Amino acid sequence: MFSILPHVSTTISFYVLHAYNKNIKRKEVAHYMSQLLNIIGQILSHTPIWVWVILIVLIKRGMALQTDSPVSLAKSFIMPAIFILWGLDTIVTKFHHPLYLLMAYVLCLCLGACVSLYIYRNKRFYIQNTILMQSGSKIPLIIMISNFCIKYCLNVLLSTHPSLYSVFGFNLIYGVISGFTVGLFFGGIMQSFRAKSRLLA
């Protein structure tokens, strides 16, 4: 009977140690989660109000385009213009290699426009009461929110690591990502131009 006591003792010690380690891990996870939430809270609290205004406008515009609506080329340029101005202001005033960054930006903007043209290849247009209409789609909302999230994350990264402004590689990465995502707006605009010239000629 007593011969099994060492085995019992070892087993109990194992479970006690396991429970202790598990408790420590839980405390560590809770600590890291607390730190993460604190960092997120600081980032959100230091975000300018106008950034959230842009987000609200984007969501509102994207939701409206989910249903059939009249084509407005003037309104179509508002969203990409916001992101282009937002990006160019940062590029020209803060980055240390703006020339190379702008070259990457323009090149990838054109690439993004080509990809967007393919994405919008099945976009439908029709005439209703002499007005050019476009079919509703979730694609504009996805593109808008993707642009906002990517731009926001890049700027948060730069605000927490300002030394990246001088890193040549990051300058190119910023230009590639920002240019490509902004270019995604232009496929729908080009399709609208084509439809307008074809259906309202």
Question: What type of residue sits at position 92?
Answer: V
- Identify the three-state secondary structure at position 185: coil
199: confidence class by pLDDT, cuts 50, 70, 90: confident
Mean pLDDT of 10-15: 53
Q: What mean pLDDT do residues 19-33 have?
A: 63
Read off the pLDDT band of 1 (50, 70, 90). very low
Domain borders along the chain are 47-199
Mean pLDDT, residues 72-92 taken together: 87
Q: Give the pLDDT of residue 88.
A: 86
Q: Are 175 and 97 in contact (CB under 8 A)?
A: no
Question: At residue 13, does pLDDT exceed 70?
Answer: no
Average confidence (pLDDT) over 169-195:
93
Supply the pLDDT for residue 8: 44
The answer to whether 67 touches 138, Cβ cutoff 8 Å, is no
Q: At what angle do helices 78-94 and 168-183 cross, to 10 degrees?
A: 170
Question: Across all residues in the chain, what is the average pLDDT?
Answer: 83
Q: What is the pTM of this model?
A: 0.76
Query: CA–CA distance from 111 to each of 26, 39, 98, 114 (Å)?
Result: 47, 35, 20, 5
Greater model confidence, 201 or 165? 165
